[in-house]
Amino acid sequence: MTLQGKVALVTGAGSGIGRATALRLAQDGATVVALGHSQDSADDVAEEIRGAGGTVLPVAADVADAAAVREVYERVERELGRLDVVVANAGVNGVWAPLEELEPQEWESTIATNLTGTFLTVRYAVPLLVRQGGAVVVVASINGTRTFSNSGASAYATSKAGQVAFARMVAVELGPRGVRVNAVCPGAIDTEIDDNTEQRGTEDLGVAAEYPDGQIPLTGERSGSSQQVADVIAFLASDAASHVSGTEVFVDGGQSLIA
């Protein structure tokens, strides 16, 4: 699954799944554009990539800011001359709260980063991707696609469902131009995203469920790792997946089948 000679952009590269993916794609030979929300986070993962012998261009942008995203791609074209892979990973859990307590600006903030950010990340990549063909991987979730038991996560789940619909639509549109588009839907993954989640009044929402043997058939209570998700992304980004487009891969140990 070599990516030698290719350029791959990863959003949300400063931590979690994005960081693991940036490292994995660099290991596979790609020049990685590590896009972080801050320059410090991008520089941090860039240092690790370089330490392992990889090549990286660290950049910073808010993926919900169209002008900032466009400027990133202008820099990629100017400095690297091509783009082969885009991993739209940047996202937030946002605020989880009862529907009547979720403020409109909280809804809008989650949608802006997760869904609009994905649109902008892919939209401004198209002119570069279609030159030689390439691959897009959207990082969605089991929430809003197979799982609907996280009551209070209405904004988050809606944004993730929207990402999958977007990936399917764009796969059909860009397929004739040589660009494959797929999504990965992680379940419980050991990342820092939960540290930035605000939950209000969700304790008694929805229908209670108990899983005495754990809610992940493959591992029981043990969450998956960012590296496991990155491995699937690396496959979808590579020529090993050359006839795979318009689909989603659930990286959840079977969790979404029962949870």
- Identify the band that residue 200 occupies on the pLDDT scale cut at 50, 70 and 90: low
Sign of CA dihedral 188, 190, 191, 195: positive
Q: Which residues contact 163 (CB under 8 A, 6 or more apart)?
A: 88, 114, 115, 118, 138, 139, 140, 183
- Identify the band that residue 52 occupies on the pLDDT scale cut at 50, 70 and 90: very high
Per DSSP (E only), the strands in 89-190 are: 95-96, 134-139, 179-186
Q: Is 73 a catalytic residue?
A: no
Lowest mean pLDDT among 123-127, 187-191, 204-208, 223-227: 204-208
Judged on CB neighbours under 10 Å (0-12, 13-18, 19+), 147 is buried
Over residues 32-41, the pLDDT tens digits come to: 999 999 999 9
Phi, psi for residue 185 in degrees, rounded to 5: -125, 90
In whole angstroms, give the CA distance from residue 121 to residue 136: 10
Global pTM reads 0.94
Asked if pLDDT for residue 188 goes beyond 90, the answer is yes
Q: Is 26 helix (H, G, I), strand (E, B) or coil?
A: helix
pLDDT score, position 201: 62
For each of the domains in the chain, give its residue range(s) and CATH number, in order of start.
7-257 (3.40.50.720)
Torsion of CA 128, 63, 74, 80, to 10 degrees: -70
